[in-house]
A and B are shown apart, each in its own frame.
Chain A
Amino acid sequence: AQRVTQPEKLLSVFKGAPVELKCNYSYSGSPELFWYVQYSRQRLQLLLRHISRESIKGFTADLNKGETSFHLKKPFAQEEDSAMYYCAPQGGKLIFGQGTELSVKP
């Protein structure tokens, strides 16, 4: 069955600290991998997509096919990074993780 797990519901870090949001998935075939972000009172929007290999707002995501993980990382968190983050493996079936709320404290 297609499944995605974001093990942390809430992740709280201080400004300037490194941050890693975990995503593990189980998916038949080779899904395309996305991270979406939802800032307070805003709509969901694309943060990054694995196939484009871009770094957006300082975030990168490492795909580990052996572990089927797609963790999101940023070396120095900023207060404006506080948001809900959704990991989304997408292929024949579109699924979203449960979301991780990132809180960056000053």
Chain B
Amino acid sequence: NAGVTQTPKFRILKIGQSMTLQCTQDMNHNYMYWYRQDPGMGLKLIYYSVGAGITDKGEVPNGYNVSRSTTEDFPLRLELAAPSQTSVYFCASSYSGQGAGSTDTQYFGPGTRLTVL
């Protein structure tokens, strides 16, 4: 199993550009998540999904969009990149999670380091 994979590893964007961060998992997990990690701030949940076709906002959703057309894929879209979106982005998945009766271990991807100039 590859687990959770993310592409790209690094990206530099100019202000106003858009891009999609890709995330795929092969563990047949229902739950998938996007986090951003800023220095000294821990991880903040951007969006999550409880299954194909169902997504919901996390703590810091502004400036981002997601979709979940399949169980395996959960892309994150930045429409108009801003310097405040410079961060490391992590995708994760789990069997159960936010809002469920129990919360399971999350499995993380390697991260995407994004810089917006």
* Chain A 7-31 per-residue mask, 1 if CB under 8 angstroms from chain B, else 0: 0010000000000000000000001
Assess whether A93 is interfacial by the CB under 8 Å rule: yes
Residues of chain A touching chain B, judged by Cβ–Cβ distance below 8 Å, are 9, 31-32, 34, 36, 42-46, 49, 86, 90-99
User: From B35, which residue of chain A is reached at the shortest CB distance?
Assistant: A96
Query: Is the beta-carbon distance between B42 and A94 smaller than 8 angstroms?
Result: no
Query: Is the beta-carbon distance between B40 and A9 smaller than 8 angstroms?
Result: yes
Query: Is the beta-carbon distance between A94 and B40 smaller than 8 angstroms?
Result: no
- With most chain A CB atoms within 10 A of its CB, the pick from B33, B41, B58, B105 is B105
Assess whether B1 is interfacial by the CB under 8 Å rule: no
Classify chain B: how many residues form its interface, as a range: 20 to 34
Taken together as a complex, chains A and B put the C-alpha atoms of A55 and B102 apart, in Å, by 21
Taken together as a complex, chains A and B put the C-alpha atoms of A95 and B48 apart, in Å, by 13
Query: Is the beta-carbon distance between B45 and A94 smaller than 8 angstroms?
Result: yes
Residues of chain B touching chain A, judged by Cβ–Cβ distance below 8 Å, are 4, 33, 35, 40-45, 48, 58, 90, 92, 97-99, 102-103, 105-111
Q: Identify which of B4, B45, B105, B108 contacts A34 (C-beta below 8 A).
A: B105
Query: Is the beta-carbon distance between A43 and B108 smaller than 8 angstroms?
Result: yes
Chain B residues positioned under 8 Å from A31 (CB to CB): 103
Chain A residues positioned under 8 Å from B4 (CB to CB): 43
Q: Within the complex, what minimum Cβ distance (angstroms) separates A9 from chain B?
A: 7
Q: Identify which of A43, A86, A98 contacts B110 (C-beta below 8 A).
A: A43
Taken together as a complex, chains A and B put the C-alpha atoms of A93 and B4 apart, in Å, by 22
Q: Identify which of A32, A42, A86 contacts B43 (C-beta below 8 A).
A: A86
Query: Is the beta-carbon distance between A44 and B108 smaller than 8 angstroms?
Result: yes
12 contacts between A and B (CB under 8 A): A36-B106, A44-B43, A44-B90, A44-B108, A45-B107, A45-B108, A90-B98, A91-B103, A94-B58, A94-B98, A96-B43, A99-B40
Chain A residues positioned under 8 Å from B108 (CB to CB): 43-45
Chain A residues positioned under 8 Å from B102 (CB to CB): 32
Query: Is the beta-carbon distance between A43 and B42 smaller than 8 angstroms?
Result: no
Chain A residues positioned under 8 Å from B111 (CB to CB): 43
Taken together as a complex, chains A and B put the C-alpha atoms of A44 and B94 apart, in Å, by 13
Q: Identify which of A32, A42, A96, A99 contacts B103 (C-beta below 8 A).
A: A32
